[in-house]
Structure 1
């Protein structure tokens, strides 16, 4: 039997919100500690957003890299059918786009797809 404390639903929701804030803020080391203690790198929060989605959208390249190294899926779509790479393209986060491409992000997934987002914002060169 494990000595790890069991979280109730409210505590788990609070933990996930805290982790999402860390991803959004680019607090890479602090977020890594959450993962070290068992938080799933693909946990889904409000709006269907993942840690990598929030880090990518906010241009947190170090956080994105850490999450990808720890198994975060670059293709999980949020409730609005958006992917992390399309969000990074929308925000003009070139380094994040490159990291997600290197991790094998699907350029045709989501609405709009990364290809469509790149065309809308004149960033097709990032996907060439």
Structure 2
């Protein structure tokens, strides 16, 4: 979803916008069944909100590992950054979700991508266990 400088999304009705916003709520709440069904029906796996957050970034931040995995299986970009230069991996590291961190790294997530990257977050927030896990993949 892209916006013009005034904040309007060209060509979409209020109903369409409401639907798109609801998909981000599904990512936050972890409703994998509903959200993945929508992706299977054509919703972009890399759908991005006005803050640059993808469905996978929101799911990772909220600890919905199965949803993140499902989105990656459907083509979500493991290295997509939001407007704060954070990725799904950055979020998983911040939340200290080791299984998800490992999964993302195993699927090509770059721990040094972006200003607020996974390595920097592990250091900034004194997360030695996360730094150790990341180090296993560097």
TM-score using structure 1 length: 0.88
1:2-44 Cα offsets, whole Å, 9 max, x none, are xxxxx83433322221111111111101001111221000010
Runs of 4+ aligned residues of structure 1 deviating over 6 Å after TM superposition are none
Equivalent residue of 1:95, what SS? helix
Query: Superposed, which structure 2 residues align to 1:1-128 within 5 Å?
Result: 8-120=12-124, 121-122=127-128, 123-127=130-134, 128=136
Aligned length: 122
Cα shift at 1:99? 1.4
Consecutive unaligned residues of structure 1, counting only runs of 5 or more, are: 1-6
Alpha carbon RMSD of aligned pairs, Å? 1.5
Cα shift at 1:67? 0.3
Counterpart Cα distance in 2 of 1:11 and 1:88:
32
Q: Tell me the residue number matched to 1:4.
A: none
